[in-house]
Chain A
Amino acid sequence: AQSVTQLDSQVPVFEEAPVELRCNYSSSVSVYLFWYVQYPNQGLQLLLKYLSGSTLVKGINGFEAEFNKSQTSFHLRKPSVHISDTAEYFCAVSDRGDKIIFGKGTRLHILP
């Protein structure tokens, strides 16, 4: 069975500082990995995805993530956050591109 662990429920960070949101997954098969963002009172928007190939994946809004198979991790990073990045971030996994298993989410709180 697949599962996703997001180690931090909340991450406070100062504006213009770098941030890393951690995600670990478990799966017995090859997986597809995703990061989704949910802005306040909105739906889910795909930030980036890893299907195959280069382990460093670049997404929208300056975010990137690195797939590490040996550590079963897919951490999300941004070199300099903006107040508009305030949102909940969900790491997710899918083994066939079908049902998606989500982590519990990390709330990114940008401090002025």
Chain B
Amino acid sequence: EPEVTQTPSHQVTQMGQEVILRCVPISNHLYFYWYRQILGQKVEFLVSFYNNEISEKSEIFDDQFSVERPDGSNFTLKIRSTKLEDSAMYFCASRKPSGQQTYEQYFGPGTRLTVT
């Protein structure tokens, strides 16, 4: 069964550094998402992406964050200058095209980001 993959599984970075988290969504999916889960807290929506542009973003997704689908297969989340509070598990998710309405988002295994 196809699945969403994410790399790396764990990223450690110093405060102020840029990080790029990578995701490979399921191949025929057209809607892409990033969520994050700070340790011990609930999963929070960051951003949704469709047709090469952001369709919705949360208040967490400020100017330090950006997303990109550079090559038609990868979907990346960039944090320009990391802060301690960016430490979290980041989940990528993807969903089928609108004509195949199941509304199920398939989640990747996550990337644990640790900012020191």
Using a CB–CB cutoff of 8 Å, the interface residues on chain A facing chain B are 32, 34, 36, 42-46, 49, 51, 90, 94, 97-105
Contact = CB atoms under 8 A, between A and B. Distances in A.
B48 to A, nearest CB: 6
B41 A104 contact: yes
B103 A49 contact: yes
Contact of A103 (B42, B48, B102, B108): B42
A100 B42 CA distance: 12
Contacts of A97: 95, 101, 103
Nearest to A98: B48
Interface of B: 31, 33, 35, 41-45, 48, 55-56, 58, 91, 95, 101-110
Contacts, number: 49
Interchain residue pairs A-B with the least CB separation, the first 4:
A97-B103, A43-B109, A44-B107, A102-B43
Interface of B is mostly: strand
Contacts of B107: 36, 43-45
A100 B46 CA distance: 10
A49 B103 CA distance: 9
B71 to A, nearest CB: 23
B22 to A, nearest CB: 15
23 contacts: A34-B104, A43-B91, A43-B109, A44-B91, A44-B107, A49-B102, A51-B101, A51-B102, A90-B42, A90-B43, A97-B101, A97-B103, A98-B55, A99-B33, A99-B45, A99-B56, A100-B33, A100-B45, A102-B43, A102-B44, A104-B41, A104-B42, A105-B42
A104 B31 CA distance: 25
Contacts of B41: 104
A43 B112 CA distance: 11
Nearest to B105: A100
A98 B31 CA distance: 8
B110 A43 contact: yes
